[in-house]
Amino acid sequence: MNMEDYIDTLKGQIRDKNAKSFVANEIRSHIEEQADVYENGGLSRDDALEKAVKDMGDPVSVGINLDKIHRPHMEWRFLGYILFISVLSIVIHYLINRGMNPGQIGFSDFPRSTSRAHIMGILVSVILMLVVYRLDYTVLLGKSRIIGGIFLTVITLLSIPFGYYVNGVNGWIGIGSVSVSVHAIFLLYLPIFAGILYEYRGKGKIAILWIFLWGIAPIVSRLINGDWSVPFMLFMLIAELILIFLAIRKDWYLFSKKAVLIGFICVVIVMAAMCFNKVMHFNDYQRLRLENWMARYNIGNYVSDDNGMNYINTRLKEVFANSNLIGRSDEAVQIMTELPGYRDDLIVGSIAAYCGMLAVVGIIICLLVLSMYVFRISLKQKNNLGYIIGCACGITIAFQCVSNLMIVFGLLPMTGSILPMISYGTPRNIVNYMLFGLILSIYRYKDIRKEDMMKSVLGKVAI
């Protein structure tokens, strides 16, 4: 059997079509290297190749063994953990909704309907997660800039006729009865931006300019639509800067780290100037909210108004003070019933009131472990694209968890935020579950999408 026939037979045992070419090149290289040894020992080239092929063993058996190695893998533990938290979220919402007084709210079927809506939202999110998992995340390879450009253009244009204001921020798109948070959609931009960083590997100083432009593009998009949300700007810039430094740490670019440090300082200065300018032009309610938060920590000469803009933070503090260690506290429940956002932004307070502080600690631990799991999968990848995209997903999930908890506990000014997977809200849950799907896809191809193969594919795209 000659080398090509051997390789064709071996490839027939491998199920993943992308792995076939990778394995074929590896086997061909190994055979030729061994043939060179035999040829140097005195054999003719044909005899050397024949002997090298024979040394490889039965092509069917070898192919079956390689198929076991180079095949898609499901990270069942991670998937099981996601499903566990999903079920936990449904149980939490059931308990909270059941505990509400329907007569007080005015909708007799409210608890049951909201529980049903949350269940349907979780089911849709899980289905979309599995769809993304089945897709190959390397679709971003060489196409991230195109995808990013289309993404930004569509969101910017849709926000012109369909955008509307909520709490003074033009951050929503409404088409018919469907409303979606633009800030939630933009969470999907971070993996795209990670792919863009990968595409500029090996580039020189010009890469700094292009990376900077792609980094501020989401903010420019929102400014065009009149959205001056400072928390959104800070979130996007900080997350992108972390990704940039992760890429630099891998020595992806042909420029000095000193230049990047200077650029980073410039970005921070510009960002601080933009935030200061926005603060100076805050609406009255936004200014009072910030002043009350600063007063809590004796910053400036502001006086805390516990019955005004600081009302929610004050009441949340009372909720946590009156919550039991385990189980429902009627006094805390009564307070949470009077607060808006008890199922979404402030759900941590509801968990404390209905289930106890121990349940809050358990939820925090679950989400902490989930974030660490995401980073663990990402950091162990054999290719840099999977590494940087996975880190983008991990940063997005972790930032949401940390910011929501800090806001609820009064460590950050009150603003819109959710606790991933736990808070009510289908659009944001869908986005977060899609990020989980990306992580599962990265793990799925961890033994197939190796760096040498990625470079080959990226080279073909460039050509």
Average pLDDT per run of 10 along the chain, which is 463 residues long? 84 75 80 87 86 86 75 82 93 80 46 74 93 85 91 92 74 80 91 93 81 90 83 87 88 74 70 62 58 61 56 84 90 86 86 92 93 90 88 93 88 81 86 94 73 47 36
Token readout for 206 is 């010009």
254 vs 203: CA distance, rounded Å: 6
Q: What are the phi and psi torsion angles at 80 (to 5°)?
A: -60, -40
User: Which residues lie closer than 8 Å to 81 by C-beta, 6 or more apart?
Assistant: 369, 370, 373
| 179, containing H or E segment | strand 178-181
Cα dihedral sign for 159, 165, 170, 173? Answer: negative
CA angle 118/230/406 to nearest 5° reads 55
CB atoms within 10 A of CB 324: 18
Using DSSP's 3-state secondary structure scheme, residue 164 falls into strand
Token readout for 234 is 């800070």
**If you ran DSSP here, which 8-state letter would residue 345 be given?**
T
Residues recorded for the chain: 463
Using CB atoms within 10 Å of the CB of residue 106, give its burial: 0 to 12 exposed, 13 to 18 middle, 19+ buried: exposed
Q: What ranges in 56-143 are assigned the alpha helix state H?
A: 59-69, 76-99, 102-105, 110-134
Token readout for 131 is 């769809």
**Residue 100: which of 408, 339, 345 has the closest Cα?**
339
pLDDT digits (tens, 9 = 90+) for 331-360: 998 888 888 878 888 899 999 998 899 999
pLDDT recorded at residue 228: 74
**110-134 and 76-99 helices cross at what angle (nearest 10)?**
170
pLDDT digits (tens, 9 = 90+) for 91-102: 888 888 876 654
Beta strands at 163-166 and 178-181: parallel, antiparallel or unpaired: unpaired
CA angle 312/427/234 to nearest 5° reads 60
pLDDT recorded at residue 283: 57
Cα 454 to Cα 22, 140, 196, 328: the distances in Å are 10, 11, 14, 54
Contact in structure between 462 and 145 (CB atoms under 8 Å): no
Unique residue bearing structure tokens 């003070």: 321
**Residue 181: which of 439, 438, 430 has the closest Cα?**
430
119 vs 130: CA distance, rounded Å: 17
CB atoms within 10 A of CB 456: 14
| 172, containing H or E segment | strand 169-175
CB atoms within 10 A of CB 84: 12
86 vs 99: CA distance, rounded Å: 20
pLDDT recorded at residue 305: 57
**Residue 392: which of 137, 40, 152, 48 has the closest Cα?**
137
pLDDT recorded at residue 105: 41
196 vs 148: CA distance, rounded Å: 8
316 vs 301: CA distance, rounded Å: 24
User: Which residues lie closer than 8 Å to 354 by C-beta, 6 or more apart?
Assistant: 92, 95, 96, 99, 328, 333, 336
pLDDT recorded at residue 161: 86
182 dihedral zone (left: phi>0; alpha: psi -120 to 50; beta): alpha
User: Which residues lie closer than 8 Å to 203 by C-beta, 6 or more apart?
Assistant: 210, 253, 254
| Predicted TM-score (pTM) of this structure | 0.79
222 vs 453: CA distance, rounded Å: 37
**Residue 402: which of 364, 375, 439 has the closest Cα?**
364
